[in-house]
Amino acid sequence: MRENLEGKAAIVFGGSRGIGAAIAVRLAQEGADVALTYVSSPDRAAATAKLIEAEGRTALPLHADSADADAVQAAARQAAERLGRLDIAVINAGVLALGAIEDASLADLDRSLEINLRGVFLAIQAAQKHMGAGGRIITIGSNTANRAVAGSSIYGMTKSAVGALVRSAALDLAPRGITVNNVQPGPIRTDMTREAIDWLVPRIPLGRVGEPEEVGGLVAYLARPETGYMTGASITVDGGMSL
């Protein structure tokens, strides 16, 4: 694979499994050293780190809860210190709360806002401190920002807000040459979707769910030098569901 990111240093918040792990490995395949955060999956974080090291890159697993502001700041700082700097930050950590609005609990609402929105804000704020011109910040949103789905009022609300946050952050960081973009996946083959695949496939125009590696490829593209003129964008990858 062409090493478009040779010599770059990246951090993937929520990079131990699923989409986050695929992103971390793809960045390593393209030449980046990668730090990745995890909360409850140390074994899977270690496994992802081994895949990164198998590409000849440095891997740095870091325990950090995206709801903990101090932990997020510490993770960004440790990654920059150990890897020399930060060129790329991918913010993937998130939770999924489903249910009709009349049944939604306050706990689900608060946790979703804490991780899916506040956590993204904190990670952008933490990562940008260690970036110079050419820095890339990429958030992982959802196609529920584009389309209403019954039972996803909390999740869709938080992911819609991420798109607005990205647009404003892009303006704030543009004078420093740092870009901020948002990737909005639809159904992707992960632990989260495994039991719903049979229900999902007939609703996807391309007739299949996506693979984590397909999201990883898009993220890697946004991290490359040739995408330096794109900022504040939300790009949907959902097999045509949002059309």
Query: What pLDDT was estimated at residue 149?
Result: 83
Structural domains of the chain, with CATH: 9-237 (3.40.50.720)
* CA proximity to 69, closest of 129, 121, 130, 10: 121
Please write the tens of the pLDDT for every residue from 19-47: 999 999 999 999 999 999 999 889 999 99
pLDDT band, residue 224 (cuts 50/70/90): very high
φ/ψ (deg, to 5) at 148: -75, 135
Please write the tens of the pLDDT for every residue from 60-106: 999 999 999 999 999 999 999 999 999 999 999 888 888 899 999 99
Place of tokens 């979707």: 193
Per the prediction, the chain carries an average pLDDT of 95
| Confidence check: pLDDT of 1 > 70 | no
Point out the residues that are catalytic: 155
Record the pTM. Answer: 0.95
pLDDT band, residue 2 (cuts 50/70/90): low
What mean pLDDT do residues 149-177 have?
95
Kindly state the percentage of the chain with pLDDT values over 90: 86
